[in-house]
Structure 1
């Protein structure tokens, strides 16, 4: 029996002695559509920075769709502000929404028409409510993982599995309908649907994994279904190849035609199609970004993410002018401008132009952003993304200008995000007073990590102190003012650390900051100097490296950052300075930060020399309660980035690839260059594999996400060039 079969068990309506008139069914359908469209229109106000207005309008009706809209409101408040009380409220509201959707879905199944009528549907009866339930489960999972409790986090991953199965059933129905209509996706070797003879373990799974309080068989906790094959079977984003008499309609298939498709014209079908692509895209993308160090958590839910397919499905949903399309667009821009903004190992612009899904499509993102800004002209979210685009294009000063003019959002959460981005950009351009003030404003705007905000504000004041200390015309009052303020901020940070946790673990950056300050306190006592004078290599530039601001900086700012890492910036005696320099982890921090800067400046051999000084160090040198434990794995990662950078730079290939006695344009030389590129790819993969398998360290998740993106890129490149291995 097909996977959908168990969904229909018991759902076939019994003949009634007094059947409802057809007209009443039409009226009910029309009412459902009106409620759904009103709820979506109301919820879309969120994307225009008007959560209050959205909630006020959504309160007017109590349909399941309005319940979903209210849930989206509280969900957006919770993830944008990271406030515990709001997260708890979001969890409760999402649970209510999920239960309501379950009841409505069961009612729709019971009230379904005849089999002949159902055969003309794209989706089985009740699919719209199944989608609402999956959206609630997906949002619940995200909130749970962001919650402090490990128990809640595990429940969240279980919710992901449930949403996965629900969406799987809806997508299966869509594929079956398209095939029935003659749109035969290419790739018949993959299983698109289960058959009555299918002996797979999940052939009889419930379409929806019921809560424990509901009757019916439960799905196994470990899900290893066939979605991967199903999605491979379903080509996406312009790659469709159809057969049959309707080949001329291929361009208008439901997968390419977007809102104008001949297939997706019914409002309920549009809601389902755009919503499934949005939800599935978010789910696949989110799981794919889990760093290698968290691989054990993935085993809980038993399936893998797929970054390429997730991104493609989000692009598909973003074409629709509804709340689903807007959320998909926001996720895409957050992914490209956020995650990929931190990544180094990405396809070239030429590769992206030729279809590399794992890369950063600048033109396409610009068009998407323009579309979203026209749809929601009052929203600061889209202006924030515009600033991120500027930053990723190495126009930090242009980004700062946009952010400074984007502080008047009606949503405090949007203002908080905008201010945090402004804080980071101020740090990258080394505007230390602006950096200090903006990070302190973060304390006022949200509750996520006050310890981190105070710590980085202290780093900014430290740089102001060092500037004043080394000024040609020293102003002693100014020197002492900055010194006192820096110490106050550093000492404040540990007092507010630990109030936020992720899966019962301290936030990595809070743990990092607390260890740093403890190290400086111990050093100040040992050397008999003040806390601020005991700080070693620039902690500001260290933070720039860890946030990969180096990627956004141009030459002059990079040179200034390199100088800021000098030991001459310290404010203590030469004897004390030499003792600080002698600490292995301290020197390694400087070498890694400088290597990243000179690599960004194109000085690859200099970068390699600095990294090799780190790579020869013993791991034991980085062990200890206050030791910086990330420089050694970071150095391995930087070696991978160097190998990739050399692949992307034609002038580097020309100078470093093997030479032959033949002319440079000869077939032999071309073969040598290809072999050299493949060797560099293997080197890159080897360095990444080492970091992926590294033992736990404080910032393993942050570096791990960059590693994961790099591994996706290498996997894509090898596949494209026929170098992939089984």
Structure 2
């Protein structure tokens, strides 16, 4: 073993660095073992047990044979998940450091395996697995840099993405070449010739992790056999979900989402572990599985991320060298989810965020049925399925829920899926089924509480939503100002319900005074704490948004000369926030009608001023609510007559924008929503018209506090329209 370590660390003379056959076999099995340990550790974090996963890595690393490279990557992946779930500066910094270390170790490990000509796969040349660890650490590191919203870090991130892309291209060439080889009639013969078989007494054991035939001495080596058996067992247990201390997952596998299916349970209880999907092959070598799933995930995410970058910063994509294909990227990420490892887990998290998350990457109203590609293999997802995966996505989530029963992360995703389907009450019931204080990963704890608060907002249960949102101050390091403002807007809506007579409680007078006091304290107090919690030393976009809103309220206060601070708030600010978090697409007819009532029937001195900028917001939100309730023509007329004429004119067949400064998110949003009306009213015949409106949305955009969020939504819609024209 000392000679193996010496060779891999570069010690000794060139002659001493050469490995004997037995040393090479021992190294390959030890490496597969270390990769399995790393995959097991990363699965612990998917089950909300990061501490156990990190300890497992540390214990393996403490042994003289632990693979430092995959150990650093695994630790970096765990820290990356913690960082991106919570966006806490200290956690992001720690993850960046670890991933940077993994990058350097990967390059060194790859070079050493190439120098020693140690081939650990029947399919790929020496060092390919470390090319994947390099790509993965590089990509995740770049994503953290992009999240920092720093121009300098963003530029560095793009160079990292470029490095990852070029490495991926090299690996993809090898994968395609191997796929061609596997089509050859000589492949099975070559595979048989490279099968490693051990002989123990009258029985034999085949190891698929060793890419060559063993010598007679190696076949009889009991120690090597035990190592091969251990790797096989680790892989089998992982594929069956028997590796992180849970009972058989098959007993928790459901056929539908929601609390009712949870309570129903399975009638039969299976005692033995078994795979819950027949897509995984226990005889596939660990290295090959790691390479395939890693490349699918990394190249898929890379393409999706680059395809979502808004046009405002799209010019820098030339640095990377290509423009991502969202369709191809999604297809590759979907492919990665078929593997029962961390790559499949991260891929599924990404897909769930893309389809069911709080942002409108896949606006359910822009459900354009793209033409089917007849050349697409039947094993791949076609375009309509990529747009609306439906039961495929549900099934993948239910498998994750069964495999990782202790993780609130997957429960959160189920709640989001229920919410997207308009099953808001069920979503809250599911979120209520877990005590957030028992969740180990505090970032997931915060996401659970925030999701519950926003879902309650969509249900118009503003009182409880405010109380829930204020819990965030004690459990999240994100934006305390936003949580405070959000809660204040909820109390304001309760106060207005009292004024409108919607709230009919016996103690209405007492409650009205309470809501008035809390709304005033929280809304106007939120501006005073902006900057106390910063993201990477910067004030957050939504913090800048609320600062502008509070200044706006103070301006109106001077205009109406009222002693009541809440009279200076015009359009319901909670309904602006509902739009930002995609709430109108989640509401049922009941909640939409309540929103319409709040927007159009409530009056106070500021609303009665009929300020043009305030009227724009009211009319914009009214139009899209009407569309969601089926009154499409009526909604479109409001947008065409009351909103868009204030934003642009056409002179000599050229569009001339009327630049405005108040509530800048409204203007590109209005063009985006008008594109949606074109699609809803005219169908496929309206796509060219929709495309024109989306071009106007892109051209109107400026660098304002929500420009990235709105820009990504516009770009996602434009790509979908262009693909279907």
Q: In which range does the TM-score fall when normalised by the shorter chain? A: 0.7 to 0.9
Picking from 624, 643, 650, the partner of 1:614 is 643
How far does the alpha carbon of each residue in 1:616-674 deviate from its partner, in whole angstroms, 9 at most, with x for none? 115687634xx1123232221111111222355xxxxxxxxxxxxxxxxxxxxxxxxxx
Paired with 2:403 and 2:370, the residues of 1 have a C-alpha distance of: 30
Secondary structure of the residue aligned to 1:551 is coil
1:426 Cα deviation from its structure 2 partner: 0.9
Report if the CA contact (8 A) 1:345-1:713 is conserved. Answer: no
Partner of 2:717: 710
Does the 8 Å contact 2:54/2:75 carry over to 1?
yes
Matched, 1:180 2:181: yes
Q: Which moved more, 1:461-470 or 1:429-438?
A: 461-470
In structure 2, distance between residues paired with 1:88 and 1:275: 24
Q: What's the counterpart of residue 228 of structure 1?
A: none
* Residue 603 of structure 2: aligned partner: 570
Indicate conservation of the 8 Å contact 1:589/1:631, yes or no. yes
What's the offset of the Cα at 1:507? 2.8
Superposed CA deviations along residues 489-516 of structure 1, whole A, max 9, x for unmatched, are: 1122222324566788643322221111
Indicate the residue corresponding to 1:67 in structure 2: 72
5 Å-filtered alignment, 1:283-302, equals 283-302=302-321
For residues 298 and 595 of structure 2, the distance between their equivalents in structure 1, rounded to whole angstroms, comes to 41
Does 1:390 find its partner at 2:418?
yes
1:83 maps to what in 2? Answer: 88
Is 1:133 aligned to 2:162, yes or no? Answer: no
Q: Tell me which residue corresponds to 1:685.
A: 691
TM-fit CA distance, 1:599:
0.3
- Separation (CA, whole Å) in 2 of partners of 1:274 and 1:618: 48
Query: Structure 2 CA distance, aligned partners of 1:165 and 1:124?
Result: 17
Is 1:260 the counterpart of 2:260? The answer is: no
Separation (CA, whole Å) in 1 of partners of 2:624 and 2:387: 21
Cα-Cα RMSD: 2.8
Instruction: Give the stretch that moved more between structures: 456-465 or 706-715.
Output: 706-715
Contact 2:327 2:383 in 1 (8 A): no
Q: How many residues align?
A: 593
Equivalent residues of 1:340, 1:360 under 8 A apart: no
Which residue is equivalent to 1:491?
Answer: 524
Q: Is the 8 A contact 2:676 2:690 kept in 1?
A: yes
Q: Is the 8 A contact 2:480 2:533 kept in 1?
A: no
Gaps of 5+ in 2: 1-9, 62-66, 186-276, 373-380, 649-656
Note if contact 2:360-2:582 (Cα within 8 Å) is conserved in structure 1. no
Contact in 2 for aligned 1:80/1:417 (Cα 8 Å): yes
Alignment match, 1:695: 701
Residue 378 of structure 1: how far off its partner (Å)? 1.5
Distance 2:647 2:719 in 1: 30
In structure 1, the partner of 2:295 is 276
Contact 2:96–2:141, Cα closer than 8 Å, also in 1: yes
Against the structure 1 CA distance between its residues 558 and 484, is the aligned structure 2 distance closer, same or farther, given a 3 Å change threshold? same
Rate the CA distance shift 1:293–1:693 in 2: closer, same or farther, 3 A.
Answer: same
Pick the aligned partner of 2:456 from 413, 419, 426: 426
1:430 CA displacement: 0.8
Is residue 2:566 matched to residue 1:560? no
Q: Which residue of 2 is the match for residue 20 of structure 1?
A: 19
Q: Aligned-pair distance for 1:294?
A: 2.8
Distance 2:554 2:350 in 1: 42
Q: 8 Å contact 1:346–1:358 — kept in the other structure?
A: no
User: How far apart, CA to CA, are the structure 1 residues paired with 2:371 and 2:530?
Assistant: 44
Matches of 2:350 and 2:88 in 1, distance apart?
A: 21
- Please say if 1:365 is aligned against 2:372: no
Moved more, 468-477 or 303-312: 468-477
Structure 2 residue 551 is the aligned partner of structure 1 residue 528: no
d(CA) in 2 for partners of 1:525 and 1:340? Answer: 37
Distance 1:106 1:432, change over 3 A: same
| Counterparts of 1:26 and 1:54, CA distance in 2 | 27
Provide the rounded CA distance (Å) in 1 between the counterparts of 2:19 and 2:382.
56
**C-alpha distance in 1 between matches for 2:315 and 2:593:** 41
The aligned counterpart of 2:33 is 34
State the Cα deviation string for residues 287-314 of structure 1 (Å, max 9, x = none). Answer: 1122233313434423212111111111
Report Cα offsets for 1:219-240 as digits up to 9, x if no partner: xxxxxxxxxxxxxxxxxxxxxx
Report the more deviating stretch, 72-81 or 615-624. Answer: 615-624
Offset of residue 550 of structure 1: 0.9
| In structure 2, distance between residues paired with 1:409 and 1:351 | 44
Q: What's the counterpart of residue 631 of structure 1? A: 666
Please name the residue that 1:551 is paired with.
585
Structure 1 residue aligned with 2:466? 436
Partner of 1:154 in structure 2? 155
Q: Are 1:541 and 2:575 counterparts?
A: yes
Aligned counterparts of 1:609 and 1:17: Cα–Cα separation in 2: 82
- 1:7-54 residue CA offsets vs partner (Å, 9 max, x unmatched): xxxx9xx99489532111111111111111111111111110111111
Give the match for residue 595 of structure 1.
623
